[in-house]
Structure 1
Amino acid sequence: MDPSSHTEKRGDTGARIARRPHGTTARALGTDALLAVVALALIGVCYGLARFAFGLFLPTFRETFDLTSRTAGLIASSSYLAYCAGIIGAVALSPRFGSRTVALAAGVLATSGIALVATAISPAMLLGGVAIAGASTGVASPPLAQAIARCVAPARRDRVQSIANAGTGAGVMLSGPVALLGQNHWRLSWGLFALAAFAVCVAVAVVVPQVRIVPAGARRGGPRAGRGRDGAERGEHGSRTRVAGGPGRADALTASTLALARLMGAAAVMGAASAMVWTFGQDRIAGADGAGPQVGVTAWIVLGACGLGGAAAGDLVRRLGTRAAWALLMGLVALSTVVLGIAPDSPPAAITSCAAFGAAYVALTGLVLVGATRIRPERTAVVVGGGFLAIALGQTLATPLWGAVADRAGAEAAFLGAGVLALAGAVLAPVGRRARAHSRSGSEAAGG
């Protein structure tokens, strides 16, 4: 490690966080606002282009590769499965190899997968490209959350996390006009997506800080008692001396484990319920029973634009509380999914439903993200990875199921089923009172 690197101790685990300087240019540009913009761009490329654009181009892919609903669902499911693998890899690698390195790997995966889709000549190549691109989404979120949690001032941290997470909407909004103009030239469209992904890779390499977490004692000389940046007294393993009357370490770990399990359960249900619209929504609107391709793409653009409103997830929680906000947003997902199922031929209904779904989905993922960062502040990448892994697992398991239901009972039945599941998930909340209380004590323990 460079001797000029800054090292501090955090949390009860005795982990050390080492920040390595990353050049004059990056320091000059590395403001909170710039980090938020670049993080939003990476999330937009990985989610909006590399992952969810498959659904936008599904009508064309059906015709080009002669895909059934079941096959399309399996291809989309491969993206979600790769997403799960990507999250596991990012959680394991981000602390050791650093936020910038792993975030850059996400950009490279997105670029490679998108390029493979653009050159696909068979369903197998299409599946491979979709899977590689899908892995990028899992890799992207943990390192970005880790960098923001460590480098952004506490007063702005939740907002920056929510802004970065809203990149999904930005990516979908960008892919919509390209699809509208280039549906008949889809290879060119995906080639342009690959160029955009490469440009974001360059920005990530310059702006995202290299935040590492290495085990205590790994550096020469081992852990020593001292003061962190916040001036708090820390013990031998870098943790604060426990305040009298505060929760013990075992109680805190138990509370955080229960909170994470609750968050993952709610996230899994949300992922399963949302998979129907993400995979088959565009096909439902643009298909034979829908309003047509132009309305479908327009609705998708509106979905992305309204998804940007998900950046206000943190503010919504402060106004309504976590449970009320979650119930409201899951109710919107349920309503929009059902409307798409029963009235895909109505342009106003289709566009309005996509608008509601986009805003609700991105805000829900924002609630999962912010809730995760509060459960274990000193292990941001791990808990954020767990929350997004649960979303991906829900989508992975549900996507082929919804495709099979659509083939057997019709698309309307599949959309109604997804809507009912979303409504049932409205009673869940990713973080309850105990978790919020623990997050406050955890933030204190972690010094930030």
Structure 2
Amino acid sequence: MKQEKQIVFTGIIFIAMAYGISRFSYGLLLPYFNEPLQMTNQISGMVSSISYLTYCLGIISVYTIFKQFQPRNDLLISGGLTIAGLMMLMLSTHYLLFGAGVIVLGYSAGVATAPFGYIIKEKITYGYQDRSNAWINTGIGLGLIIIGIIVFLFKGYWRYSYLTFILLSLFIVLVNYKKLPYVEMSHLNYKLDLHHIFYGRKLILSTILLGIGTAAYWTYFQSYIFKTDYKEWTSLFWVVLGIGGLLGGFAGRALERFGMTKIHIFTGLLLAIANISLILSENVLLLAISTLLFGLVYVFSMGVYAFWSARLYVEFPSMGIIVTFVSLAAGQFLGTFFSGFILESLGFQLLFIIYGLLSLVTIFFRPLADELEDI
């Protein structure tokens, strides 16, 4: 049990780095470096959308280029790329170098997606695997809390924030490499069966819609807060977002108690509410509720979809991971790519209403009963 807790703890802090600190700090700091780096809303949207494509490439790399590597070595590669990408962001004086750094961070997060799943499968007791995966995903929330606090301390000095992120990331990479166990590679199933890739077509469509529904929030939530009377509180809203992400760790228990279909519908409704409630009023309580809900739903839904794909692709778990996270990234790519143009043309209110309504569509692509027979 001691080793199992150690794996979950190291997983949480690594995901805090790979997702929270590196990928999502882009949206938090966007208003600070938009002007000095000459980034328009369209450019920031395009940069973010390209990073989702490299995220997909990072996932695929684990099953092709790096498939003979130990999972902890994959994580070492991911950590090294994270540090390199953050350094590019810190040193950039133009949006081209900054955009390249964001794209590198997208790839590094993709490489970090699968290794913990294999470590958990090999080293954690079967009955605790889903819960362990759900809790490791809460690292996203922890990362958001960390960056919210750091940005609050440094205010507009975003380069100092990135320097702090680099030092934290270096420490996290060293801890993970030292603490994570060796995994017997012969047990890992990297086989893919492309003939059955669309067996989970409802999963694919639903996950793409989830990605679209979350895209505008991640990229432009901070920019919207900057236009309200709570500009000085923006980093604290990200702390609230992170707290919501930590609460998303209860996904495993919720699924066990209420069932996959009910939870799936519930998350779709909450995501729509999070998007639309953000722009209904500039009341600070409503803004805080919106951010809390979004953080909760994002982490919670990642656990839900991972649970669903594991049941669909029992014989080919690698394909299940690829299908789920590539579909999510594809949705985020599409959502982010168009969000910049929608924002320029229609403004924040209509942007978040449109994406809130798109989030609702996910409830029509829910699991079939025969897909969940073994749950």
Q: TM-score range by the shorter chain?
A: over 0.9
> Do the aligned partners of residues 39 and 381 (structure 1) sit closer, same or farther apart at CA in structure 2, a change above 3 Å counting?
farther
CA 1:212/1:371 → structure 2, altered by over 3 Å: closer, same or farther? farther
* Alignment-mate amino acid for residue 233 of structure 2: V
1:354 aligns with 2:291: yes
Q: Is the 8 A contact 1:95 1:214 kept in 2?
A: no
Taking structure 1 as reference, are residues 311 and 297 closer, same or farther at Cα in structure 2, changes over 3 Å only? Answer: same
**Partner of residue 309 from structure 2, selected from 352, 362, 372:** 372
Which residue of 131, 134, 149 maps to 2:103?
Answer: 131
Q: Percent identity?
A: 25
Per the TM alignment, residue 341 of structure 1 is displaced from its structure 2 partner at its CA by 2.7
Partner of 1:108: 80
The offset of 1:273, in angstroms, is 0.6
Superposed displacement of residue 105, structure 1: 1.3
Cα distance in 1 for partners of 2:109, 2:164 equals 19
In the alignment, which residue of structure 1 is the partner of 2:277? 339
Uncovered stretches (5+) of structure 2, i.e. residues with no partner: none
* Counterpart code for 1:132: V
> Which residue in the other structure is 1:267 paired with?
207
More helix by share: 2
- Shift of the alpha carbon at 1:202? 0.9
Query: Equivalences for 1:171-320 in 2 at 5 Å?
Result: 171-211=143-183, 213-214=185-186, 257-287=197-227, 290-320=228-258
Following superposition, the deviation at residue 369 of structure 1 comes to: 1.8
In structure 1, runs of 5+ residues without a counterpart are: 1-28, 217-249, 441-448
Distance 1:129 1:258, change over 3 A: closer
What is the alpha-carbon root mean square deviation over aligned residues?
A: 2.1
Letter in 2 for 1:133: L
Aligned residues: 371
Deviation at 1:260, TM superposition (A): 3.1
Q: Which amino acid aligns with 1:155?
A: G
* Matched position secondary structure for 1:366: helix
Structure 2 counterpart of 1:423: 360
What CA distance in whole angstroms lies between the structure 2 residues aligned with 1:302 and 1:291?
Answer: 18
State the Cα distance separating 1:305 from its structure 2 match. Answer: 1.1
Structure 1: distance between partners of 2:336 and 2:347: 15
- Alignment partner for residue 64 of structure 1, among 36, 44, 60? 36
Distance 1:316 1:374 in 2: 17
Deviations 1:266-293 (Å, cap 9, x if unpaired)? 1111011100111101111122xx2332
Residue 296 of structure 1 aligns with an amino acid whose one-letter code is T
- TM-score, normalization: structure 2? 0.93
Q: Which residue of structure 2 aligns with residue 396 of structure 1?
A: 333
8 Å Cα contact 1:95/1:212 also seen in 2: no
Instruction: For 1:7-156, list aligned pairs within 5 A.
Output: 31-93=3-65, 95-156=67-128
1:212: how far off?
Answer: 5.2
- CA drift of 1:165 comes to 1.1
Deviation by residue 1:332-371 (Cα, 9 ceiling, x = unmatched): 110110111332x321111110001110111001111222
Deviation at 1:393, TM superposition (A): 0.8
Q: Quick one: structure 1 residues 403 and 112, their matched pair in 2 at CA, closer, same or farther if it must change by over 3 Å?
A: same
Instruction: Give distance in 1, aligned partners of 2:142 and 2:89.
Output: 21
2: CA distance between counterparts of 1:125 and 1:376? Answer: 39
Per-residue CA deviation, residues 13-63 of structure 1 (Å, 9 max, x unaligned), is xxxxxxxxxxxxxxxx97000100111111110110110110000110212
Aligned partner (choices 382, 387, 398) of residue 319 of structure 2: 382
- Verify the 8 A CA contact 1:98 1:210 in the aligned structure 2: yes
TM-score relative to the length of structure 1? 0.78
- Judge conservation of contact 2:203–2:305 (CA < 8 Å) in 1: yes
Determine if contact 2:38/2:94 at 8 Å carries over to the other structure.
no
Q: Which amino acid aligns with 2:127?
A: A
Q: Are the aligned partners of 2:18 and 2:82 in contact in 1 as well (CA < 8 Å)?
A: yes
Deviation at 1:162, TM superposition (A): 0.5
Cα deviations across residues 179-204 of structure 1 (Å, max 9, x unaligned)?
A: 11213211111011011111111122
Does the CA contact (< 8 Å) of 1:259 and 1:435 recur in 2? Answer: no
Q: Are the aligned partners of 1:99 and 1:211 in contact in 2 as well (CA < 8 Å)?
A: yes
User: Is the Cα–Cα contact under 8 Å of residues 285 and 340 in structure 1 kept in the other structure?
Assistant: no
Equivalent residues of 1:145, 1:380 under 8 A apart: no
Q: 1:63 to 1:292 in 2, by over 3 A?
A: farther
Q: Could you say which residue in structure 2 is the equivalent of 1:220?
A: none
The CA deviation at 1:257 is: 4.3
- Using the alignment, how far apart are the partners of 2:122 and 2:284 within structure 1? 45
Letter in structure 2 aligned against 1:46 = A
For the 8 Å contact 2:134–2:303, the answer to whether it is kept is: yes
Is it true that 1:161 corresponds to 2:133 in the alignment? yes
Give distance in 2, aligned partners of 1:330 and 1:291. 29
Aligned-partner Cα distance in 1 for 2:280–2:57: 35
In the alignment, which residue of structure 1 is the partner of 2:370?
434
Q: Which entry has the higher C-alpha Rg, 1 or 2?
A: 1
Contact 1:303–1:355, Cα closer than 8 Å, also in 2? yes
> Deviations along 1:309-335, whole A, 9 cap, x unmatched?
111111111122111101111111101
Distance in 2 separating the partners of 1:395 and 1:386: 14
Question: 1:3 matched to which residue of 2?
Answer: none
